[in-house]
Structure 1
Amino acid sequence: MKIAVMGAGAVGCYYGAMLARAGHEVTLIGRPGHVDAVNRDGLLFEFQSTKSFIEMKADTDARAIAGAGLVLFCVKSTDTADAGAQMKPFLGKDTIVMSLQNGVDNAERLSAVIGQPVIPTVVYVATSMEGPGHVKHHGRGELVIGRSDQSDAVAKTLRPAHIPVEISDNAQGALWAKMILNCAYNALSAIAQKPYGELVQSDGIWEVMRNAVDECMAVAAGCGVTVPGDVWGAIEKIVDTMPGQYSSTAQDLARGKPSEIDYLNGYIVRKGAELGIATPTNLALYAMTKLREGSSVA
């Protein structure tokens, strides 16, 4: 299959590399320096104990999506509308589009822009960009996707590429579960510039995280969302499965880039205000991250 990755950051490059290794024709759409490196040498892919260059195409223009049967949409939540508008003219009517993004409303927002269905996708992978044309995998890699007419076809494409896929009847709840995990870890990792395993060794951090999660669960209930599974148990396990991982928010701030905090803790604060639910811990985490984001010191 011809597959395009719109937003060739750490998540997009990881899944693009896995699919290219499985024999699919993958095109990455990203920034010029990254695109130049991939077109020159291939994508340097650190996976488990190996390093290899994966040959694939790369482009800075959304027109490279033309002809793709599957698009992995991996841009930051802040860029959803603009990136969707850029790629809309080049999508086929039968192109499958997946939103591999943080937050809970990106698939809905993207669908409104492009005028066709978008599969909401929850991403559980630890990965980072180590430089232009260089992605490093730190752990996990599974996806949870919403059930639709296209979900079986997606699973049959991804699973042979060693990408675990769960098809969920409660995709919205799964998105909330991931967002709550992000609300617990991302801001703290960004503020402290520490990986998860080191972060939780500091006094009071577990209590702060528990307070943030309790607020998130109250807002989810207020929105009528059923959050599946043992959310707190999953949060506790992260320090075992991803101890060396810095949050995506931490990585953004370290590079001097805008973060997605408005779509994580900020989203909880806004929804809480609408519903009359107090969210003081999330507000503090949001406000401190915005201060750090606006600082000249990464």
Structure 2
Amino acid sequence: MKYGIIGAGAMGYRYGVMLQENAGVEVDFIDTWEPNVEKVRELGGVSVARDHENRRVVPINIYYPEEYQGHPDVWIIFKKQMQLDEELARDAKAELFHDDQYVFSAMNGMGHFEKIAQYFAPEKIICGTAMIATRLDGPADVDFMGEKGAEVMHLAMYASKSVPSNVTEFITDLKKAYLGPIVVEDYLGMCMSKVVFNAVVNTLCTMFEVQMGQFIEYEGVPQMARQLFDEAYDACERAGIYLIETRQEEIDSVTTTSHALKYHYPSMYQDFSKGRPTEVDYINGYIAKIGREHDYVCRTHEFVTQQVHLAELMRKYH
């Protein structure tokens, strides 16, 4: 199969490069960040390291939407939630989307599948989550975090529990790429499991500006995690959403993942540290929204969301 990556950022590069190099498939990258596109063209590819070591330039094909003439079988979308509407509108205007194409996304937060469904039929949408840590340190400068082969992701169809044959081929390519795909039936429970994990690790690491390994040094982390997870699970259960992991499994994953990715700054911190808006409204704020819609106030998530926005505002004084 042929793939098109929309959003040549940290995760877009991760998926595209691993598919290209390990699965031996054709991959094109679409991006709208001019410094990134021009740096790739200057270098002849993207500069890739793993855990800060063995940096090399991987040749890739990169295009602005308006100049792209290809026809991928599957689009893979990795954009920030706040940028997605504008990106999809620009890509649609450039006539990149076609009825025979599938689309996959494993973006952080929630709300993106409804936006994608404005351009693709529901049965063509593949939902995903990725427990895969990656850093974008600058234009065309990416660092794959974690040991090779430790990548884990989940996927599910947006509109059905059965997987079409074309999607089975996509899953095979993901396996060949060593991206660790696990297929589940319920996309909503799958996605919310990742959202509530990020609502603890991404958000708290950002608030205290620490790496995951530094964060987990505090012995009170499991208790903090339980408070946030209990609120999230209570809200989801009232909404009829049942996560694919138990509360205790989520708590345990905070510890194991933080140790495994001890040198990683989560993506929310990467945005925060560079003065960009964070996705907290699509993570903790989304959990709080589910609660409010079902007569349950997630007081800690409400408070944490406001704290992150306060920290964003206070950057102007530093």
TM-score when scaled to structure 2? Answer: 0.87
Specify the SS of the correspondent of 1:245: coil
Q: Deviation of residue 37 (structure 1)?
A: 1.5
Which residue is equivalent to 2:76? 72
Which residue is equivalent to 1:101? 107
Task: Give the Cα–Cα distance (whole angstroms) in 1 for the partners of residues 68 and 317 of structure 2.
Answer: 36
Which residue is equivalent to 1:26? 27
Q: Are 1:191 and 2:207 counterparts?
A: yes
Task: Give the Cα–Cα distance (whole angstroms) in 2 for the partners of residues 110 and 185 of structure 1.
Answer: 27
Specify the SS of the correspondent of 2:132: strand
- My pick for the range that moved more, 74-83 or 118-127, is 74-83
Q: Are 1:120 and 2:139 counterparts?
A: no
Q: Deviation of residue 297 (structure 1)?
A: 5.4
Q: Deviation of residue 203 (structure 1)?
A: 6.3
Specify the SS of the correspondent of 1:98: strand
Q: Are 1:85 and 2:89 counterparts?
A: yes
Q: Deviation of residue 70 (structure 1)?
A: 1.6
Q: Are 1:292 and 2:294 counterparts?
A: no
Q: Deviation of residue 109 (structure 1)?
A: 2.7
Consecutive unaligned residues in structure 1, runs of 5 or more: none
Q: Are 1:161 and 2:184 counterparts?
A: no
1:124·1:142 contact (CA, 8 Å) conserved in 2?
Answer: yes
Per-residue CA deviation, residues 184-232 of structure 1 (Å, 9 max, x unaligned), is: 1111111111011112334644332221111011111011111112222
Identity %: 21
Alignment-mate amino acid for residue 172 of structure 1: L
Q: Deviation of residue 114 (structure 1)?
A: 3.7
Alignment-mate amino acid for residue 3 of structure 2: I
1:28·1:35 contact (CA, 8 Å) conserved in 2?
Answer: no
**What is the root-mean-square deviation in Å for CA atoms of aligned residues?**
2.0
Consecutive unaligned residues in structure 2, runs of 5 or more: 158-162
Q: 1:207 aligns with which of 218, 223, 230?
A: 223
Q: Deviation of residue 115 (structure 1)?
A: 4.2
Alignment of 1:139-158 (within 5 A): 139=146, 140-147=150-157, 148-149=163-164, 150-158=166-174
1:3·1:25 contact (CA, 8 Å) conserved in 2?
Answer: yes
Alignment-mate amino acid for residue 125 of structure 1: I
Task: Give the Cα–Cα distance (whole angstroms) in 2 for the partners of residues 99 and 65 of structure 1.
Answer: 22
Task: Give the Cα–Cα distance (whole angstroms) in 1 for the partners of residues 170 and 257 of structure 2.
Answer: 27
Aligned length: 298
Q: Are 1:283 and 2:313 counterparts?
A: no
Q: Deviation of residue 21 (structure 1)?
A: 1.2
Task: Give the Cα–Cα distance (whole angstroms) in 2 for the partners of residues 192 and 39 of structure 1.
Answer: 37
1:68·1:91 contact (CA, 8 Å) conserved in 2?
Answer: no
TM-score when scaled to structure 1? Answer: 0.93
Which residue is equivalent to 1:225? 241
Q: Deviation of residue 53 (structure 1)?
A: 1.2
* Structure-2 change in CA distance of 1:236 and 1:62 (3 Å): farther
1:25·1:56 contact (CA, 8 Å) conserved in 2?
Answer: no
* Structure-2 change in CA distance of 1:2 and 1:188 (3 Å): same
2:106·2:130 contact (CA, 8 Å) conserved in 1?
Answer: yes
1:43·1:54 contact (CA, 8 Å) conserved in 2?
Answer: yes
Task: Give the Cα–Cα distance (whole angstroms) in 2 for the partners of residues 164 and 75 of structure 1.
Answer: 21
Q: Deviation of residue 62 (structure 1)?
A: 5.5
Q: 2:288 aligns with which of 264, 269, 289?
A: 269
2:110·2:286 contact (CA, 8 Å) conserved in 1?
Answer: no
Task: Give the Cα–Cα distance (whole angstroms) in 2 for the partners of residues 65 and 227 of structure 1.
Answer: 40
Q: 1:235 aligns with which of 254, 261, 270?
A: 254
Alignment of 1:170-189 (within 5 A): 170-189=186-205
1:208·1:281 contact (CA, 8 Å) conserved in 2?
Answer: no
Which residue is equivalent to 1:40? 42
Q: 2:271 aligns with which of 244, 252, 272?
A: 252
1:20·1:54 contact (CA, 8 Å) conserved in 2?
Answer: no
Task: Give the Cα–Cα distance (whole angstroms) in 2 for the partners of residues 6 and 128 of structure 1.
Answer: 17
